[in-house]
Structure 1
Amino acid sequence: MANLDQRLSLDGCTVAYNDSGGTGHPVLFLHGAGVDHVMFEEQAEAVSHSARRIIEWDMRAHGLSRPNAIGITADQLVEDAETLISALGLSQPVLVGHSLGGNIAQALVRRKPTGYAAIVVVDATWNTGPLNSMERLLLRLAAPMLALIPARSLPSVMAKASAVTRRARLDLARAFAQVPKREFLAIWQSTVSLVDPAPDYRVPIPLLLLRGDRDRTGNIATAMPAWAKHEGAQEVVIPDAGHVPTQDAPEAVTKALLHFLDSLEPRR
Structure 2
Amino acid sequence: MVNLSGKLSVRGCDLRYADSGGDGVPVVFSHGAGADHVMFEAQWEHLRGLGCRVVAWDLRGHGLSRPAGVPFTAEQAMADLYALIGHLGLDRPVLVGQSLGGNLGQAVVRRQPGLARALIVIGATPNTAALSWRERLLVKAAAPMLSVMPAKDLPRLMAEASAVTPEARADARRAFGQVPKREFVQVWRATAGFLSPDPAYRTPVPLCLIRGERDGTGNIASAMPRWAAAEGVEEVVIPGAGHIANQDDPRAVNEAIEAFLRTIPAWKQAGR
Same fold (TM over 0.5): yes
Q: Which residue of 2 aligns with 1:52?
A: 52
What is the CA–CA distance in structure 2 between the aligned matches of 1:38 and 1:258, rounded to whole Å?
Answer: 19
Gaps of at least 5 residues in structure 2 are none
Amino acid aligned to 1:91: D
**How many Å separate the matches in 2 of 1:10 and 1:226?**
37
CA distance in 2, matches of 1:5, 1:205: 31
Q: Describe the SS at the equivalent of 1:61.
A: coil
Q: Residue 266 of structure 1 corresponds to which residue in structure 2?
A: 268
- Contact preservation (8 Å) 1:34, 1:184: yes
Aligned residue type for 1:62: H
Does structure 2 retain, via aligned residues, the 8 Å contact 1:207–1:234? no
User: Does residue 93 of structure 2 align to residue 93 of structure 1?
Assistant: yes
Q: Distance in 2 between matches of 1:249 and 1:233?
A: 22
Distance 1:14 1:218 in 2: 31
1:36 aligns with 36
Worse-superposed segment, 242-251 or 258-267: 258-267
RMSD: 0.9
Q: CA deviation at 1:114?
A: 1.4
Give the Cα–Cα distance (whole angstroms) in 1 for the partners of residues 127 and 163 of structure 2.
23
Q: How many residue pairs end up in the alignment? A: 268
Aligned to 2:178: 178
Unpaired segments ≥5 residues, structure 1: none
- In the alignment, the residues of structure 2 paired with residue 38 and residue 150 of structure 1 have an alpha-carbon distance, to the nearest angstrom, of 25
Q: Normalised by the size of structure 1, how large is the TM-score?
A: 0.98
- CA offset digits 1:138-165 (Å, max 9, x no partner): 1000000011101111000000000011
The within-5 A match list for 1:137-176 is 137-176=137-176
In structure 2, distance between residues paired with 1:138 and 1:12: 33
Three-state SS of the structure 2 residue aligned to 1:263 is coil
Q: Provide Cα deviations, 1:125-149, integer angstroms capped at 9, x if missing partner.
A: 1100111000001100000001110
The CA deviation string for residues 78-114 of structure 1, in whole angstroms up to 9 with x for no partner, is 1100100011111100000000000000000001111
After superposing on structure 2, the runs of 4+ consecutive aligned residues of structure 1 that deviate more than 2 Å are: 265-268
Q: Secondary structure at the match of 1:208?
A: strand
| One-letter amino acid matched to 1:135 | E
Alignment of 1:218-229 (within 5 A): 218-229=218-229
TM-aligned CA deviation for residue 12 of structure 1: 1.5
Report if aligned partners of 1:72, 1:187 keep a CA contact under 8 Å in 2: yes
**Deviates most, 31-40 or 257-266:** 257-266
Q: Describe the SS at the equivalent of 1:221.
A: helix
C-alpha distance in 1, partners of 2:152/2:63? 18
Task: Quote the offset at 1:267 in angstroms.
Answer: 6.7
**Over residues 194-247 of structure 1, what are the superposed CA-to-partner deviations in whole Å (9 max), with x where a residue is unaligned?**
111101100011000000000011110011000000000121000010000111
**In structure 1, what is the Cα distance between the partners aligned to 2:50 and 2:170?**
29
SS across alignment from 1:54: strand
Distance between the aligned counterparts of 1:71 and 1:240, measured in 2? 36
Aligned to 2:117: 117
Residue of structure 2 equivalent to 1:212: 212
Q: Partner letter of residue 158 of structure 2?
A: M
1:6 corresponding residue in structure 2 = 6
SS where residue 7 of structure 1 aligns?
strand
* Structure 2 CA distance for partners of 1:106 and 1:69, relative to 1, 3 Å: same
Q: Is the 8 A contact 1:215 1:243 kept in 2?
A: yes
